Amino acid sequence: MTFPVRGVRAGHWTGVRTGTTVLLFPSGSVGSGEVRGGAPATREVALLDPLCTVERVDAIVLTGGSAFGLAAADGVMRFLAERGQGFATGAGPVPIVPTAAVFDLMEAGDERPGAFEGYAAAVAAERDGDLATGAFGAGRSATIGKWRGRDHRAPGGVGFASARVDDATVAAVVVANALGDVIGADGLMLAGSNAPPDVVGFPTLDAFGERENTTLAAVVTDAALDKSACHLLARSAHDGFARALRPAHTRFDGDVCFAVSTGAVRGHLDRLREAAAATVADATRDAARAGSRTTDDR
């Protein structure tokens, strides 16, 4: 799947047990974001507040490795600086690379993405090939349905969805590593805890003790939006988590949604916000389906 928003490229670095996913944006792209989970691992997210000065976003990094994996952004910054892309300063361009990580350390062990791996993911994105879904990139060791105990988890992964809204396109990349189950559009569990029926109740102490969770989303549109509108888009993207995850936004998930506009066409903000919620929900479900298909690759 090549990215459907013109000028946007996405790629993975996939290791044995963890990975990194990078989205590269054309110069002049505007972005914002919002954190609703209680245990985030992030970098440059405060800059995305609509009250902050810098509006541009050059790349987004979604990574495994928990807080260790945030170092992958160093490689992406080097990649962009080599190409002269970034916020102009007297000392040269400074790439703006918001980054968020999922907690996969229980699965990944000592393997953690760093600058080399971030650079490799950026190179993969630059090639503009198909973006694999499932157990690739930041979704390499992602799991879902841990709320009844880690032993009953199911595969998560990277998912993708897109929609047309008038002349605009809205696309979402999701890394599903949630505490909760993934819920289908029919309201029934699509994928999640495989605990037997007699294992009931929320929450279990084992599920929360290890805090091996977090779902991330990057929503991208070619509709022309300013930073405040991108923030509203990110807020609506979280509604997609609420539709597709049960429970969502717990104290033990670090749920983060980014929203970026490339500004190529006109779009209606409220229609775009509804599309953002729908595409994030669909991408979360796609992550669960793709993760179950690619489990043997881990």
| Residue 279: per-residue pLDDT | 98
* Per-residue pLDDT at 296: 57
Q: Which residues pair with 12 in a beta bridge?
A: 21
Q: How many CB atoms lie within 10 A of CB 16?
A: 11
- Residue 38 DSSP label: S
Is the separation of the CB atoms in 168 and 183 below 8 Å? no
DSSP secondary structure, 203-248, as one string: --HHHHHH----EEEEEEEEE---HHHHHHHHHHHHHHHHHHEES-
Q: Would you call 160 helix, strand, or coil by DSSP?
A: strand
For helices 72-82 and 115-126, the axis angle rounded to 10 degrees is 50
pLDDT at 229: 98
9-297: CATH superfamily: L-amino peptidase D-ALA esterase/amidase (3.60.70.12)
For the entire predicted model, the pTM comes to: 0.94
Q: Considering just the CA atoms, what is the radius of gyration of the chain in Å?
A: 18
pLDDT tens-digit profile, the chain (298 residues): 679 999 999 999 999 999 999 999 999 999 999 999 888 999 999 999 999 999 999 999 999 999 999 999 999 999 999 999 999 999 999 999 999 999 998 888 889 999 999 999 999 999 999 999 999 999 999 999 888 777 778 899 999 999 999 999 999 999 999 988 999 999 888 888 776 655 555 555 555 555 578 999 999 999 999 999 999 999 999 999 999 998 889 888 889 999 999 998 999 999 999 999 999 999 999 999 998 787 655 5
pLDDT of amino acid 259: 98
Q: What is the pLDDT of residue 13?
A: 98
